[in-house]
Structure 1
Amino acid sequence: MNRSAVTEFLLSGFSDDRDVQILHFVVFLSAYSIGVLANVCIIITVALNSHLHSPMYFFLVNLSFSDVCYISTTVPKSMATSLTNNKLISFAGCVTQVFLVVTFVTCEFALLTVMAYDRYVAICHPLQYRLIMSRDLCIQTAAASWLLSGLHGILQTSLTFNLSFCKNNTIEQFFCDIPQLQKLSCTDTAAHQMLILVLGLILDSFCFVFIFVSYGFIFSSVLKISSTQDRHKAFSTCTPHLTVFSLFITTAMFSYMRPKELASPTIDLLSAVLYTVLPPVLNPIIYSLRNKAIMEGVLKISKKFKHFIA
């Protein structure tokens, strides 16, 4: 028996009850619309305001683009499943979904790590900021984040679909999730699970330690500032990033590192919503509300749009 024994998978979704399916569709449509529109709004705002053409907003645009891609990988398919009650997803479609989810999750983490370094340079070495965070370095680090994320996605996807899938093809999730696919495999997945865990820990530990050390230096420098106003201003530039990073880490840890006592199909579904839907929706809102320049840029574009309509 090999992989060819299964040519398609079934996504279990949230419920077989038609009313619950409609409710799921409406909730996911609302979340998807907010997530896409808010992130696109940030991208347009930064693009149309020359005073926002700085390294911090360059990485923010990359994060917003990643969020749009991330939420678009799982939510539209889940909405279509609820609306049509067609739970089938092809083998190739499942492979693609796994690759994209891993790639965009990794890219989010990588970009948040780079953004922590950007804040470190801006606060700890303000006079050399433009020299260190040059245009070439920004492009190179962003490109490296996307490239390494893609390679990580290829590696994780290859490892997952090297497993054999025989009879059971029902995925207890609303998208193709690696842990759920491991449960379906008719071969021993112990070594596979350990390898994926080690790869994830290496990547996550590096990013987490890098961010932790960066903010250690940042807080140390900020506390040395004598002016309360300047200290508050320095902290305010870090608050959105710290909030977004905390949200990302909290939802991911709850999804993959929660105790077995909390493991159940319902909790698995809800935890998946936390780390696939919530961050892309809340990230642009957090940055908009906590960043005065973004808010001013959005308001300026809104006024221009209203004037154009009028």
Structure 2
Amino acid sequence: NSLIISAVACGHHLHTPMFFFLLNLALSDLGSICTTVPKAMHNSLWDTSTISYKGCASQLFFLYFFLSAEYFLLTIMCYDRYVSICKPLHYGTLLGSRIFRAVLRIPSEQGGHKAFPTCLARLAVVSLFVSTVIFAHLKPPSISSPSLDLSVSVLYSVVSPALNPLIYSLRNQELKDALRKMMTVSFQKH
């Protein structure tokens, strides 16, 4: 996430709507991880399970804020991808109009092949996140254990945000080139 933020912020040719959304998604992912993981690690390392009322309230507020921002960004990114694949000539003017049936109506076979892997990868991450959250909060108390609770919480609080950069960014050739250039310049200075 930090590499994506640096590459988009420094690469002026990446200042387009898609990379603006990727930058904000990376910030949202970092925010959601930083909201829950430090306290969870503290509790795990010190074998405690307590949190103050103010700490819990602030954690919930920031977690809901960052997750809401992430789902909002993912929705906009899906629409952005639809417009760039299905209506590339109208990309600049259509970002204010109304998006899965749209992928099925893609006229070119190449466009469909380009859209489906991206959509499926994104759906997999969202499904992983939603299913683990539902399991964590709706599982019967009889199967609850500290290690299971920790494993499930790591799945939805760390794994999903960690997969986002791989799915949304590292498949993009422009971003790969910008990261490569940034790394090369950094190594040449040292």
TM-score interval, normalised by the smaller of the two chains: 0.7 to 0.9
Q: How does 1:27-176 map to 2 (within 5 A)?
A: 39-85=1-47, 87-133=49-95
Tell me, in whole angstroms, the C-alpha distance in 2 between the residues paired with 1:235 and 1:115: 18
Give the equivalent residue in structure 2 for 1:215: 100
Q: Closer, same or farther in 2 for the Cα pair 1:238/1:64, shift >3 Å?
A: farther
Give the equivalent residue in structure 2 for 1:276: 157
Q: How does 1:231-246 map to 2 (within 5 A)?
A: 231=110, 235-236=113-114, 239-240=117-118, 242-246=120-124
Q: Is residue 108 of structure 2 the alignment partner of residue 225 of structure 1?
A: yes
Deviation at 1:274, TM superposition (A): 1.1
Give the equivalent residue in structure 1 for 2:128: 250
Q: Which runs of 5+ in 1 are unaligned?
A: 1-38, 138-209
Deviation at 1:125, TM superposition (A): 2.0
1:27-75 residue CA offsets vs partner (Å, 9 max, x unmatched): xxxxxxxxxxxx1110111111122111111111111000000000111
1:220-252 residue CA offsets vs partner (Å, 9 max, x unmatched): 21xx226xxxx16x6446644541342122231
Tell me, in whole angstroms, the C-alpha distance in 1 between the residues paired with 2:9 and 2:116: 22
Deviation at 1:86, TM superposition (A): 5.5
1:139-175 residue CA offsets vs partner (Å, 9 max, x unmatched): xxxxxxxxxxxxxxxxxxxxxxxxxxxxxxxxxxxxx
Deviation at 1:115, TM superposition (A): 0.7
Give the equivalent residue in structure 1 for 2:175: 294
SS across alignment from 2:170: helix
Tell me, in whole angstroms, the C-alpha distance in 2 between the residues paired with 1:65 and 1:301: 19
Q: Closer, same or farther in 2 for the Cα pair 1:108/1:76, shift >3 Å?
A: same
Deviation at 1:273, TM superposition (A): 1.4
Counterpart contact for 1:240–1:291, Cα < 8 Å? no
1:181-221 residue CA offsets vs partner (Å, 9 max, x unmatched): xxxxxxxxxxxxxxxxxxxxxxxxxxxxx9xxx23212321
Q: State the Cα RMSD in Å.
A: 2.6
Amino-acid identity (%):
37
Give the equivalent residue in structure 2 for 1:201: none
Tell me, in whole angstroms, the C-alpha distance in 1 between the residues paired with 2:91 and 2:116: 15
Q: Is residue 107 of structure 2 the alignment partner of residue 264 of structure 1?
A: no
Tell me, in whole angstroms, the C-alpha distance in 2 between the residues paired with 1:288 and 1:114: 15
Counterpart code for 1:277: V
SS across alignment from 1:130: coil
Q: Which runs of 5+ in 2 are unaligned?
A: none
Tell me, in whole angstroms, the C-alpha distance in 2 between the residues paired with 1:80 and 1:257: 23
Counterpart contact for 1:251–1:271, Cα < 8 Å? no
Tell me, in whole angstroms, the C-alpha distance in 1 between the residues paired with 2:118 and 2:184: 25
Q: Closer, same or farther in 2 for the Cα pair 1:285/1:65, shift >3 Å?
A: same
Counterpart code for 1:104: F
Aligned residues: 186
Give the equivalent residue in structure 2 for 1:306: 187
Computing the radius of gyration from Cα coordinates, the structure with the larger value is 1
Counterpart code for 1:75: V
SS across alignment from 1:132: coil
1:254-302 residue CA offsets vs partner (Å, 9 max, x unmatched): 3305885695234333222111110111211233432222111111100
SS across alignment from 1:289: coil
Tell me, in whole angstroms, the C-alpha distance in 2 between the residues paired with 1:106 and 1:71: 14
**TM superposition score normalised by structure 2:** 0.83
Tell me, in whole angstroms, the C-alpha distance in 1 between the residues paired with 2:130 and 2:45: 28
Counterpart contact for 2:128–2:160, Cα < 8 Å? no
